[in-house]
Amino acid sequence: MSTPTKPLDPRMKRTLLVIRDAILSLMEEKSFEQITVRDITERAQINRATFYLHYQDKFDLLEKVTDAMLNELHATAQLPPNFAASDFCFDEDTPPPSMVRQFEHIAANAQFYKVMLGEHGLPNFAGRMESVIREGLYQRTTIAQPVDRELKVPREIIIRYCTAAHLGIIVHWLENDLPYTPKYITTQLMRLHLLGPTKAVT
């Protein structure tokens, strides 16, 4: 039996958030390669001993911050164990709750995603994020129609198309400083998924 994870001390949690915010704010200004631990500690207003108490180096910091955020993103898209095809009752005005949760998560962590998907972000981040989105979409298409031969378009093409559209909308939303609410933007994305671009403009 695994030991329950002990909740972080509030002061420690605050320190980790300060360090995270420091690296993100620095990455808004320059590339990760140009950033030093000294830059991070000065921006966070902590000493180097405090930094090394939690992280081995700047690479360890960024890896842990990125892994934690993508794990949170993955969790937003999870469906209940007993979710079935009959539960797919969404229409163009009612996006799935999991999709709304996903965009709420991105809105709550907009600085992180803007940095990571921007010019100073990690080269492989978009691909990792795409994999998380693709996994969720694959799960849903499999529940909606588990038999490949019944699909009008090969499943892998459906998944790739929807994933690219999904990530593209997220990037556009972030680049424009989130002009729409998570509910509104997911409703538009749902309409595009259901209607397709051609019907959406006619």
DSSP H or E segment with residue 146 = none
State the Cα–Cα distance between residues 166 and 164, nearest whole angstrom.
5
State the Cα–Cα distance between residues 186 and 156, nearest whole angstrom.
22
Beta bridge partners of 100: none
Distances (CA, A) of 65 to 2, 61, 132, 153: 24, 6, 16, 38
Tokens of 19: 């360090």
One pLDDT digit (tens) per residue for the chain, 202 residues: 344 455 667 888 899 999 999 999 999 999 999 999 999 999 999 999 999 999 999 999 999 999 999 999 999 988 776 665 544 556 667 888 888 999 999 999 999 999 999 988 988 999 999 999 999 899 888 888 899 999 999 999 999 999 999 999 999 999 999 999 999 999 999 999 888 888 888 8
For each of the domains in the chain, give its residue range(s) and CATH number, in order of start. Answer: 11-55 (1.10.10.60), 62-200 (1.10.357)
